[in-house]
Amino acid sequence: MSPLYPLKFKTIYKDKIWGGQKIKTYLHKDFGSLPNCGETWEISGVKSDVSVVADGALKGQSLADLLEHYQEQLVGKKVYAHFGNTFPLLVKFIDANDDLSIQVHPNDELAKKRHNSFGKTEMWYVIEADSGSTLISGFNQQVSEKIYVDKLNSGHIMDILNRENVHAGDVFFLPAGRVHTIGKGLLIAEIQQTSDITYRIYDFDRVDDKGHKRELHTQEALAAIDYNYYPDYKTKYRPEKDKTVQLVKCPYFTTNLLDFNESTSKDYSHIDSFVIHVCVEGSYVIECQGGQHTVKMGECVLLPATVKRADLITIDGFKILESYVEL
């Protein structure tokens, strides 16, 4: 019998110039004396910020230690064979009290060459949105590198960017190379490749509390950007109660939405992967391997690959993002 069980980790809180208070007021997560919390890292294998188990028999152990010790029992045979002792996903909550910088992330090939890192493909699920909130994803027209550079240098970069009106429940998939920013008033759950590489393109000429502008990565971004125009940037899906609805399926992760008023059972025997639950609404109890684990809004839980069946017992209804890796 594996000693592994559904794992919660200690939240890592990040102070950001654009952060706000919704992590505390909406998700009920206490970030202490930080003036503003822009991000929480809920499950992370990034070397500078490795998650630590919050409770149970493995409390205090790091995700890196667990992966090294339990290997395929934790993440699955194929996942371990492919990624080794690197956990492949990073899960965050993001509270934008102001617009984030306009940015882009490199793909695997470029990130490996420049940083010996994975690239950064990601997805956003909008938990809460202030009235009139927007975000930027991609270009609103076909552009070339020259057109992009001319617009950037002349101060008119916003003219060619695609701005979307945003509401709770919206989903955006952002492959590496897509220029983007999260807009003011949005609370988002983010699921992404394990990478912390961001090329900042434009930061609205903001300064920090010492009067300094943040570093831009103008040259580095040029080779990373996908200059193509796409007709649809928002992910289309049909919400359904008490069913598993697929939101995103890509080489790096599959993410489903579970919006349930009833209790349900999940069969994970066909998935050769760990499974992550991100609870964005309500609360429930996970029953598996003879144990019970309560999960509430704002919490994330990692189900090891040894969990092949789990009963999800509703407390007051729940909405979960369910993610795993299919290789």
Active site residues: 200
Tokens 């394990």 locate to: 194
DSSP secondary structure string for all residues of 268-297: -TT--S-EEEEEEEEEEEEEETTEEEEEET
Bridge partners of 6?
none
CB 168 within 8 A of CB 129: yes
Ramachandran category for residue 138: left, alpha or beta (phi over 0 → left; psi -120 to 50 → alpha): left
Rounded to whole angstroms, how far apart are CA atoms 3 and 14? 31
Handedness of CA 38, 40, 46, 49 (dihedral sign): positive
Comparing C-alpha atoms, which of 23, 233, 18 is closest to residue 139? Answer: 233
Q: At 145, which helix (H) or strand (E)? A: helix 145-153
Rounded to whole angstroms, how far apart are CA atoms 98 and 284? 32
The secondary structure of residue 46, as a DSSP letter, is -
Rounded to whole angstroms, how far apart are CA atoms 234 and 154? 29
**Phi, psi of 324, deg, nearest 5:** -155, 175
Rounded to whole angstroms, how far apart are CA atoms 261 and 180? 34
**Phi, psi of 163, deg, nearest 5:** -105, 135
Residues 6+ apart with CB under 8 A from 90: 41, 43, 44, 45, 46, 191, 192, 193, 194, 195, 196
